[in-house]
Amino acid sequence: MSASNSTKPDRANSRRDFLKRTGGVLAASALAGVAVPRCHAAASDAIKLALVGCGGRGGGAVADAFSTTGGPVKLVAMADLFEDRLQNKLKQLQEPFKDKVDVTPERCFAGFDAYKKAIDCLGPGDVAMLTTHAAFRPLHFEYAVAKGVNVFMEKSFAVDAPATRRLLKAAGESEKKNLKVGVGFMWRHSKARQEVIGRIHDGAIGELHTLRIYRVHGPVHCPRLPPGTNELVFQLRNAPCFNWTSSGFLIDWHCHNIDVACWAKNAWPVAAQAMGGRCYPEAGNLFDHYAVEFTFADGTKLFAFSRHMAGCWNEYADYAHGTKGSAVLMTDLGTPNTRLFKNQRMTAENLVWRQGQAEPNPYHVEWQVLLDAIRQGKPHNEARRAAEANFAAILGRAAAHTGAYVTWDEAIKSDFQYVKDIDHMTFDTPAPIKAGPDGLYPAPIPGITKEL
Protein backbone atom coordinates (compact mmCIF):
# COMPACT_ATOMS: atom_id res chain seq x y z
CA MET A 1 0.00 0.00 0.00
CA SER A 2 1.27 3.43 -0.82
CA ALA A 3 0.97 4.82 2.67
CA SER A 4 3.32 2.19 4.03
CA ASN A 5 5.85 2.96 1.30
CA SER A 6 6.25 6.50 2.62
CA THR A 7 6.13 5.65 6.32
CA LYS A 8 9.46 5.88 8.15
CA PRO A 9 10.19 3.58 11.14
CA ASP A 10 10.31 6.51 13.57
CA ARG A 11 7.09 8.14 12.43
CA ALA A 12 4.51 8.93 15.11
CA ASN A 13 2.58 6.05 16.65
CA SER A 14 -0.69 7.69 15.66
CA ARG A 15 0.38 7.38 12.02
CA ARG A 16 1.05 3.66 12.33
CA ASP A 17 -2.09 3.02 14.38
CA PHE A 18 -4.26 4.87 11.86
CA LEU A 19 -2.90 3.01 8.87
CA LYS A 20 -3.23 -0.34 10.60
CA ARG A 21 -6.83 0.43 11.60
CA THR A 22 -7.89 1.56 8.16
CA GLY A 23 -6.26 -1.23 6.19
CA GLY A 24 -3.45 0.89 4.76
CA VAL A 25 -0.97 -1.50 6.34
CA LEU A 26 -1.68 -5.14 7.13
CA ALA A 27 0.92 -6.27 9.62
CA ALA A 28 2.15 -9.77 8.92
CA SER A 29 1.74 -10.64 12.59
CA ALA A 30 -1.99 -9.91 12.35
CA LEU A 31 -2.28 -12.60 9.68
CA ALA A 32 -0.31 -15.27 11.50
CA GLY A 33 -2.34 -18.45 11.80
CA VAL A 34 -5.27 -17.00 9.88
CA ALA A 35 -4.66 -18.29 6.38
CA VAL A 36 -2.04 -19.79 4.16
CA PRO A 37 -0.60 -17.01 1.94
CA ARG A 38 -2.01 -17.06 -1.56
CA CYS A 39 0.66 -16.42 -4.15
CA HIS A 40 0.91 -17.33 -7.77
CA ALA A 41 2.84 -20.48 -8.60
CA ALA A 42 5.55 -18.70 -10.56
CA ALA A 43 6.28 -15.41 -12.24
CA SER A 44 5.93 -17.17 -15.60
CA ASP A 45 2.31 -18.11 -14.86
CA ALA A 46 -0.26 -15.71 -16.24
CA ILE A 47 -2.49 -13.97 -13.72
CA LYS A 48 -6.00 -14.17 -15.13
CA LEU A 49 -8.44 -11.27 -14.96
CA ALA A 50 -12.23 -11.26 -15.11
CA LEU A 51 -13.75 -7.86 -15.86
CA VAL A 52 -17.12 -7.20 -14.22
CA GLY A 53 -18.43 -3.90 -15.57
CA CYS A 54 -17.48 -2.86 -19.10
CA GLY A 55 -17.61 0.92 -18.88
CA GLY A 56 -14.79 3.42 -19.12
CA ARG A 57 -13.39 2.62 -15.69
CA GLY A 58 -13.31 -1.07 -16.45
CA GLY A 59 -11.48 -0.64 -19.74
CA GLY A 60 -9.02 1.75 -18.14
CA ALA A 61 -8.32 -0.69 -15.31
CA VAL A 62 -7.60 -3.49 -17.78
CA ALA A 63 -5.08 -1.29 -19.61
CA ASP A 64 -3.47 -0.37 -16.29
CA ALA A 65 -3.16 -4.05 -15.34
CA PHE A 66 -1.53 -4.76 -18.70
CA SER A 67 1.06 -2.04 -18.02
CA THR A 68 2.65 -4.01 -15.18
CA THR A 69 5.88 -5.99 -15.18
CA GLY A 70 6.87 -9.17 -13.38
CA GLY A 71 4.87 -11.73 -15.32
CA PRO A 72 2.11 -12.19 -17.89
CA VAL A 73 -1.45 -10.97 -17.35
CA LYS A 74 -4.44 -12.18 -19.35
CA LEU A 75 -8.05 -11.00 -19.55
CA VAL A 76 -10.09 -14.19 -19.83
CA ALA A 77 -13.70 -13.27 -19.00
CA MET A 78 -16.03 -10.27 -19.18
CA ALA A 79 -19.40 -9.48 -17.68
CA ASP A 80 -21.84 -6.58 -17.93
CA LEU A 81 -25.53 -5.92 -17.53
CA PHE A 82 -25.75 -5.10 -21.23
CA GLU A 83 -24.49 -7.26 -24.10
CA ASP A 84 -23.86 -4.30 -26.41
CA ARG A 85 -21.64 -2.55 -23.88
CA LEU A 86 -19.67 -5.75 -23.30
CA GLN A 87 -19.06 -6.34 -26.99
CA ASN A 88 -18.04 -2.73 -27.61
CA LYS A 89 -15.52 -2.86 -24.77
CA LEU A 90 -14.18 -6.22 -25.91
CA LYS A 91 -13.53 -4.82 -29.36
CA GLN A 92 -11.84 -1.74 -27.90
CA LEU A 93 -9.51 -3.92 -25.82
CA GLN A 94 -8.74 -6.49 -28.50
CA GLU A 95 -7.32 -3.95 -30.91
CA PRO A 96 -4.39 -2.67 -28.76
CA PHE A 97 -4.01 -5.76 -26.54
CA LYS A 98 -4.76 -8.73 -28.80
CA ASP A 99 -1.97 -10.83 -27.24
CA LYS A 100 -3.30 -10.21 -23.72
CA VAL A 101 -7.06 -10.58 -24.31
CA ASP A 102 -8.22 -14.20 -24.38
CA VAL A 103 -11.98 -13.71 -24.03
CA THR A 104 -13.94 -16.28 -26.02
CA PRO A 105 -17.70 -16.04 -26.68
CA GLU A 106 -18.16 -18.73 -24.00
CA ARG A 107 -16.58 -16.39 -21.44
CA CYS A 108 -18.74 -13.34 -22.23
CA PHE A 109 -21.67 -12.96 -19.87
CA ALA A 110 -24.53 -10.43 -19.77
CA GLY A 111 -27.25 -9.82 -17.22
CA PHE A 112 -27.63 -9.40 -13.48
CA ASP A 113 -25.97 -12.75 -12.66
CA ALA A 114 -23.17 -12.34 -15.18
CA TYR A 115 -20.67 -11.37 -12.46
CA LYS A 116 -20.89 -14.83 -10.91
CA LYS A 117 -20.17 -16.57 -14.21
CA ALA A 118 -17.16 -14.35 -14.93
CA ILE A 119 -15.68 -14.76 -11.45
CA ASP A 120 -16.21 -18.52 -11.71
CA CYS A 121 -13.69 -18.51 -14.58
CA LEU A 122 -10.93 -17.62 -12.10
CA GLY A 123 -8.86 -19.56 -9.60
CA PRO A 124 -6.60 -18.75 -6.63
CA GLY A 125 -4.03 -16.14 -7.61
CA ASP A 126 -6.29 -14.53 -10.19
CA VAL A 127 -8.10 -11.17 -9.96
CA ALA A 128 -11.76 -10.25 -10.18
CA MET A 129 -12.04 -6.69 -11.48
CA LEU A 130 -15.16 -5.07 -10.02
CA THR A 131 -15.80 -1.89 -12.00
CA THR A 132 -19.56 -1.55 -12.18
CA HIS A 133 -21.26 1.38 -10.49
CA ALA A 134 -21.35 1.36 -6.70
CA ALA A 135 -24.85 -0.08 -6.27
CA PHE A 136 -23.54 -3.56 -7.10
CA ARG A 137 -20.07 -3.41 -5.57
CA PRO A 138 -20.79 -5.02 -2.16
CA LEU A 139 -22.53 -8.13 -3.52
CA HIS A 140 -19.90 -8.59 -6.25
CA PHE A 141 -17.09 -8.21 -3.72
CA GLU A 142 -18.82 -10.59 -1.33
CA TYR A 143 -19.06 -13.24 -4.05
CA ALA A 144 -15.42 -12.87 -5.12
CA VAL A 145 -14.26 -13.20 -1.50
CA ALA A 146 -16.44 -16.29 -1.03
CA LYS A 147 -14.83 -17.81 -4.14
CA GLY A 148 -11.35 -17.07 -2.74
CA VAL A 149 -10.06 -14.88 -5.57
CA ASN A 150 -8.13 -11.62 -5.33
CA VAL A 151 -9.94 -8.40 -6.15
CA PHE A 152 -9.45 -5.02 -7.70
CA MET A 153 -12.50 -2.83 -7.14
CA GLU A 154 -13.08 0.66 -8.39
CA LYS A 155 -14.50 3.47 -6.33
CA SER A 156 -17.05 4.32 -5.23
CA PHE A 157 -17.74 1.28 -3.12
CA ALA A 158 -21.35 1.45 -1.89
CA VAL A 159 -24.32 3.81 -2.09
CA ASP A 160 -25.58 3.82 1.51
CA ALA A 161 -24.61 2.74 5.02
CA PRO A 162 -26.10 -0.79 5.02
CA ALA A 163 -24.32 -1.55 1.74
CA THR A 164 -21.06 -0.14 3.13
CA ARG A 165 -21.40 -2.30 6.24
CA ARG A 166 -21.85 -5.28 3.92
CA LEU A 167 -18.67 -4.30 2.11
CA LEU A 168 -16.84 -3.91 5.43
CA LYS A 169 -17.92 -7.38 6.54
CA ALA A 170 -16.64 -8.87 3.28
CA ALA A 171 -13.40 -6.92 3.80
CA GLY A 172 -12.96 -8.75 7.10
CA GLU A 173 -13.48 -12.09 5.38
CA SER A 174 -10.95 -11.17 2.69
CA GLU A 175 -8.39 -10.42 5.42
CA LYS A 176 -9.01 -13.80 7.07
CA LYS A 177 -8.37 -15.50 3.73
CA ASN A 178 -5.25 -13.38 3.09
CA LEU A 179 -6.67 -12.27 -0.24
CA LYS A 180 -5.03 -9.37 -2.03
CA VAL A 181 -7.40 -6.46 -2.58
CA GLY A 182 -6.62 -3.25 -4.42
CA VAL A 183 -9.09 -0.39 -4.63
CA GLY A 184 -9.43 2.57 -6.98
CA PHE A 185 -7.82 5.13 -4.66
CA MET A 186 -4.79 5.42 -6.91
CA TRP A 187 -3.68 8.68 -5.25
CA ARG A 188 -2.56 6.63 -2.25
CA HIS A 189 0.06 5.29 -4.67
CA SER A 190 1.12 8.73 -5.88
CA LYS A 191 4.76 9.35 -4.93
CA ALA A 192 4.24 13.11 -4.77
CA ARG A 193 1.30 12.81 -2.39
CA GLN A 194 3.09 10.24 -0.27
CA GLU A 195 6.03 12.60 0.11
CA VAL A 196 4.09 15.76 0.99
CA ILE A 197 1.79 13.94 3.42
CA GLY A 198 4.78 12.22 5.01
CA ARG A 199 6.35 15.62 5.60
CA ILE A 200 3.10 16.93 7.08
CA HIS A 201 3.03 13.97 9.46
CA ASP A 202 6.61 14.78 10.43
CA GLY A 203 5.56 18.31 11.43
CA ALA A 204 6.64 20.34 8.40
CA ILE A 205 3.67 22.72 8.69
CA GLY A 206 3.09 22.34 12.42
CA GLU A 207 -0.23 21.19 13.82
CA LEU A 208 -2.77 20.67 11.05
CA HIS A 209 -5.95 22.67 11.66
CA THR A 210 -7.68 23.18 8.27
CA LEU A 211 -8.03 21.25 5.01
CA ARG A 212 -9.67 22.45 1.79
CA ILE A 213 -10.58 20.20 -1.13
CA TYR A 214 -12.14 21.23 -4.44
CA ARG A 215 -13.69 19.38 -7.33
CA VAL A 216 -15.56 22.00 -9.30
CA HIS A 217 -15.88 21.54 -13.06
CA GLY A 218 -18.40 20.87 -15.81
CA PRO A 219 -21.49 18.66 -15.48
CA VAL A 220 -22.55 15.20 -16.58
CA HIS A 221 -26.10 15.76 -17.75
CA CYS A 222 -28.90 13.24 -17.75
CA PRO A 223 -31.35 13.17 -20.68
CA ARG A 224 -35.08 13.28 -20.04
CA LEU A 225 -36.73 9.89 -19.72
CA PRO A 226 -38.18 9.06 -23.16
CA PRO A 227 -41.83 7.94 -23.11
CA GLY A 228 -42.28 4.17 -23.07
CA THR A 229 -38.73 3.48 -21.88
CA ASN A 230 -37.91 0.77 -19.32
CA GLU A 231 -37.14 3.16 -16.47
CA LEU A 232 -34.79 0.81 -14.63
CA VAL A 233 -32.72 0.28 -17.77
CA PHE A 234 -32.69 4.03 -18.40
CA GLN A 235 -31.31 4.70 -14.92
CA LEU A 236 -28.71 1.94 -15.20
CA ARG A 237 -27.52 3.27 -18.55
CA ASN A 238 -27.28 6.78 -17.07
CA ALA A 239 -25.90 5.59 -13.74
CA PRO A 240 -23.67 8.62 -12.89
CA CYS A 241 -26.82 10.75 -12.63
CA PHE A 242 -28.59 8.78 -9.88
CA ASN A 243 -27.78 8.41 -6.20
CA TRP A 244 -29.01 4.82 -5.98
CA THR A 245 -26.75 3.60 -8.80
CA SER A 246 -23.52 5.59 -8.43
CA SER A 247 -23.85 7.08 -4.89
CA GLY A 248 -23.91 10.59 -6.39
CA PHE A 249 -20.92 12.64 -7.45
CA LEU A 250 -19.97 13.86 -3.96
CA ILE A 251 -19.11 10.24 -3.19
CA ASP A 252 -18.42 8.74 -6.61
CA TRP A 253 -15.97 11.44 -7.69
CA HIS A 254 -15.07 13.56 -4.65
CA CYS A 255 -14.29 10.50 -2.48
CA HIS A 256 -10.70 10.64 -3.82
CA ASN A 257 -10.15 14.08 -2.32
CA ILE A 258 -11.95 13.19 0.92
CA ASP A 259 -9.74 10.12 1.32
CA VAL A 260 -6.54 12.10 0.72
CA ALA A 261 -7.57 14.80 3.20
CA CYS A 262 -8.30 12.19 5.87
CA TRP A 263 -4.97 10.54 5.08
CA ALA A 264 -3.25 13.87 5.68
CA LYS A 265 -5.12 14.27 8.98
CA ASN A 266 -4.60 10.63 10.08
CA ALA A 267 -8.25 10.38 11.08
CA TRP A 268 -11.82 10.13 9.90
CA PRO A 269 -14.23 12.99 10.68
CA VAL A 270 -16.64 12.71 13.60
CA ALA A 271 -19.38 14.99 12.24
CA ALA A 272 -20.48 17.08 9.26
CA GLN A 273 -22.88 19.84 8.33
CA ALA A 274 -23.43 20.81 4.73
CA MET A 275 -25.34 22.75 2.13
CA GLY A 276 -26.18 21.87 -1.43
CA GLY A 277 -28.78 22.02 -4.12
CA ARG A 278 -29.64 21.66 -7.79
CA CYS A 279 -29.71 24.56 -10.19
CA TYR A 280 -30.14 22.54 -13.38
CA PRO A 281 -32.79 19.79 -13.70
CA GLU A 282 -30.53 17.90 -16.13
CA ALA A 283 -28.55 16.66 -13.10
CA GLY A 284 -30.69 13.49 -12.81
CA ASN A 285 -31.80 13.18 -9.19
CA LEU A 286 -28.51 14.60 -7.86
CA PHE A 287 -27.53 17.93 -6.43
CA ASP A 288 -25.18 19.78 -8.76
CA HIS A 289 -23.32 21.54 -5.94
CA TYR A 290 -22.20 20.72 -2.39
CA ALA A 291 -20.33 22.53 0.37
CA VAL A 292 -19.48 20.32 3.34
CA GLU A 293 -17.81 21.18 6.64
CA PHE A 294 -16.35 18.04 8.20
CA THR A 295 -15.17 18.19 11.82
CA PHE A 296 -12.49 15.92 13.31
CA ALA A 297 -12.34 14.89 16.95
CA ASP A 298 -9.77 17.59 17.83
CA GLY A 299 -11.79 20.34 16.13
CA THR A 300 -9.82 20.38 12.87
CA LYS A 301 -12.00 21.31 9.90
CA LEU A 302 -12.14 19.85 6.41
CA PHE A 303 -14.02 21.99 3.88
CA ALA A 304 -15.14 20.08 0.78
CA PHE A 305 -16.46 21.98 -2.25
CA SER A 306 -17.99 20.08 -5.14
CA ARG A 307 -19.84 21.70 -8.05
CA HIS A 308 -20.61 20.41 -11.52
CA MET A 309 -21.82 23.30 -13.67
CA ALA A 310 -20.78 24.84 -16.97
CA GLY A 311 -19.51 28.39 -17.21
CA CYS A 312 -18.25 28.62 -13.61
CA TRP A 313 -14.84 28.96 -11.95
CA ASN A 314 -13.12 25.56 -11.97
CA GLU A 315 -10.71 24.09 -9.43
CA TYR A 316 -9.46 20.56 -8.84
CA ALA A 317 -7.07 20.78 -5.91
CA ASP A 318 -6.40 19.92 -2.25
CA TYR A 319 -4.77 22.14 0.39
CA ALA A 320 -3.67 21.78 4.02
CA HIS A 321 -3.01 24.48 6.62
CA GLY A 322 -1.06 24.15 9.87
CA THR A 323 0.24 26.32 12.68
CA LYS A 324 3.65 26.73 11.00
CA GLY A 325 2.78 26.78 7.30
CA SER A 326 0.65 25.36 4.54
CA ALA A 327 0.77 22.70 1.83
CA VAL A 328 -0.48 21.93 -1.64
CA LEU A 329 -1.55 18.28 -1.77
CA MET A 330 -2.60 18.47 -5.42
CA THR A 331 -3.28 21.02 -8.11
CA ASP A 332 -3.66 18.65 -11.06
CA LEU A 333 -4.91 15.10 -11.44
CA GLY A 334 -1.83 13.74 -13.19
CA THR A 335 0.82 16.24 -12.02
CA PRO A 336 0.10 17.01 -8.35
CA ASN A 337 2.84 19.69 -8.03
CA THR A 338 2.96 19.19 -4.25
CA ARG A 339 4.55 22.02 -2.24
CA LEU A 340 5.16 23.33 1.27
CA PHE A 341 5.09 26.99 2.35
CA LYS A 342 6.37 28.73 5.48
CA ASN A 343 3.08 30.55 6.07
CA GLN A 344 -0.49 30.67 4.75
CA ARG A 345 0.41 32.65 1.63
CA MET A 346 1.16 30.10 -1.06
CA THR A 347 3.48 32.29 -3.14
CA ALA A 348 6.91 31.71 -4.64
CA GLU A 349 8.76 33.74 -2.00
CA ASN A 350 7.24 31.58 0.77
CA LEU A 351 8.03 28.22 -0.86
CA VAL A 352 10.17 25.92 1.30
CA TRP A 353 9.85 22.60 -0.59
CA ARG A 354 8.57 21.24 -3.88
CA GLN A 355 8.34 17.65 -5.08
CA GLY A 356 10.57 17.92 -8.12
CA GLN A 357 10.70 14.39 -9.52
CA ALA A 358 8.58 13.05 -12.34
CA GLU A 359 5.43 11.37 -11.07
CA PRO A 360 4.93 7.69 -11.95
CA ASN A 361 1.44 6.99 -13.21
CA PRO A 362 -0.45 6.08 -9.99
CA TYR A 363 -3.03 4.09 -11.96
CA HIS A 364 -0.18 1.83 -13.07
CA VAL A 365 1.52 1.81 -9.68
CA GLU A 366 -1.56 0.58 -7.83
CA TRP A 367 -1.75 -2.41 -10.18
CA GLN A 368 1.97 -3.10 -9.90
CA VAL A 369 1.68 -3.19 -6.10
CA LEU A 370 -1.34 -5.52 -6.26
CA LEU A 371 0.16 -7.99 -8.74
CA ASP A 372 3.54 -7.97 -7.00
CA ALA A 373 1.77 -8.87 -3.75
CA ILE A 374 -0.01 -11.77 -5.47
CA ARG A 375 3.15 -13.15 -7.05
CA GLN A 376 5.30 -12.67 -3.95
CA GLY A 377 2.74 -13.66 -1.33
CA LYS A 378 2.96 -10.28 0.44
CA PRO A 379 0.11 -8.82 2.52
CA HIS A 380 -1.90 -6.24 0.58
CA ASN A 381 -5.51 -5.42 1.33
CA GLU A 382 -7.07 -1.96 0.95
CA ALA A 383 -10.71 -3.01 1.33
CA ARG A 384 -11.23 -1.92 4.95
CA ARG A 385 -9.90 1.56 4.34
CA ALA A 386 -12.07 1.84 1.24
CA ALA A 387 -15.18 1.10 3.29
CA GLU A 388 -14.25 3.62 5.96
CA ALA A 389 -13.54 6.32 3.38
CA ASN A 390 -16.94 5.54 1.86
CA PHE A 391 -18.53 6.12 5.27
CA ALA A 392 -16.80 9.52 5.49
CA ALA A 393 -18.22 10.54 2.12
CA ILE A 394 -21.71 9.25 3.06
CA LEU A 395 -21.49 11.42 6.19
CA GLY A 396 -21.09 14.54 4.03
CA ARG A 397 -23.76 13.58 1.50
CA ALA A 398 -26.31 12.78 4.23
CA ALA A 399 -25.65 16.15 5.89
CA ALA A 400 -26.25 17.98 2.59
CA HIS A 401 -29.32 16.03 1.49
CA THR A 402 -31.08 16.14 4.87
CA GLY A 403 -29.90 19.55 6.09
CA ALA A 404 -29.03 17.94 9.44
CA TYR A 405 -25.89 18.01 11.54
CA VAL A 406 -24.78 14.38 11.20
CA THR A 407 -22.33 12.47 13.40
CA TRP A 408 -20.06 9.63 12.31
CA ASP A 409 -21.97 7.16 14.50
CA GLU A 410 -25.29 8.22 12.97
CA ALA A 411 -23.90 7.81 9.46
CA ILE A 412 -22.35 4.37 9.93
CA LYS A 413 -25.33 2.98 11.87
CA SER A 414 -27.99 4.33 9.52
CA ASP A 415 -30.54 1.86 8.16
CA PHE A 416 -31.47 4.07 5.20
CA GLN A 417 -31.30 2.08 1.93
CA TYR A 418 -31.87 3.15 -1.65
CA VAL A 419 -32.66 -0.43 -2.75
CA LYS A 420 -33.83 -3.05 -0.25
CA ASP A 421 -33.01 -6.20 -2.22
CA ILE A 422 -30.56 -5.44 -4.97
CA ASP A 423 -29.35 -9.07 -4.99
CA HIS A 424 -32.55 -10.12 -6.76
CA MET A 425 -32.94 -7.19 -9.14
CA THR A 426 -33.99 -8.08 -12.70
CA PHE A 427 -34.88 -6.03 -15.75
CA ASP A 428 -38.52 -6.39 -14.65
CA THR A 429 -37.85 -4.81 -11.24
CA PRO A 430 -39.58 -1.44 -10.82
CA ALA A 431 -37.13 1.46 -10.89
CA PRO A 432 -36.22 2.66 -7.37
CA ILE A 433 -37.21 6.24 -8.27
CA LYS A 434 -39.72 7.60 -10.77
CA ALA A 435 -39.49 10.53 -13.15
CA GLY A 436 -42.12 13.24 -13.16
CA PRO A 437 -44.50 13.84 -16.07
CA ASP A 438 -41.86 16.03 -17.70
CA GLY A 439 -39.33 13.15 -17.73
CA LEU A 440 -37.19 14.81 -15.03
CA TYR A 441 -36.30 13.46 -11.58
CA PRO A 442 -36.79 15.14 -8.19
CA ALA A 443 -33.69 16.05 -6.17
CA PRO A 444 -33.33 15.74 -2.37
CA ILE A 445 -34.95 18.52 -0.34
CA PRO A 446 -32.98 19.51 2.79
CA GLY A 447 -35.20 19.60 5.85
CA ILE A 448 -37.58 17.07 4.28
CA THR A 449 -35.43 14.31 2.73
CA LYS A 450 -34.63 11.39 5.05
CA GLU A 451 -31.30 9.70 4.50
CA LEU A 452 -30.47 8.39 7.97
Beta-strand relationship, 315-322 and 325-330 = antiparallel
DSSP string computed for 272-297: EEEEEE-S-GGGTTS-SEEEEEEE-T
The domains of the chain are located at: 2-187+364-390, 189-359+392-413
Does the pTM exceed 0.85? yes
320 pLDDT band (50/70/90 cuts)?
very high
Is 297's pLDDT higher than 50? yes
Quote the CA–CA distance of 221 and 246 in Å, as a whole number. 14
pLDDT value at residue 204: 98
Quote the CA–CA distance of 79 and 141 in Å, as a whole number. 14
Q: Identify each DSSP E strand in 57-188 by its residue range.
A: 73-80, 108-110, 127-130, 150-153, 181-183
Quote the CA–CA distance of 434 and 233 in Å, as a whole number. 12
> In this prediction, what percent of the chain has a pLDDT beyond 70?
90
- Give the burial class of 217: count Cβ atoms within 10 A of its Cβ; 0-12 exposed, 13-18 middle, 19 or more buried: middle
pLDDT value at residue 44: 60
Is 20's pLDDT higher than 70? no
CB 302 within 8 A of CB 296: yes
Strand-by-strand arrangement of the 127-130 sheet: 108-110, 73-80, 47-52, 127-130, 150-153, 181-183
pLDDT value at residue 3: 34
Fold match flag (2-187+364-390 vs 189-359+392-413): no
Task: Tell me the range of 25-29, 283-287, 318-322, 353-357 where mean pLDDT is highest.
Answer: 318-322
CB 130 within 8 A of CB 181: no
- Cβ-based neighbours of 346, under 8 Å, separated by 6 or more: 319, 326, 328, 339
pLDDT value at residue 332: 82
CB 191 within 8 A of CB 166: no
pLDDT value at residue 43: 56
CATH of domain 2-187+364-390: 3.40.50.720
Multiple choice CATH, 189-359+392-413, 3.30.1700.10, 3.40.30.10, 3.30.360.10, 3.30.70.580 = 3.30.360.10
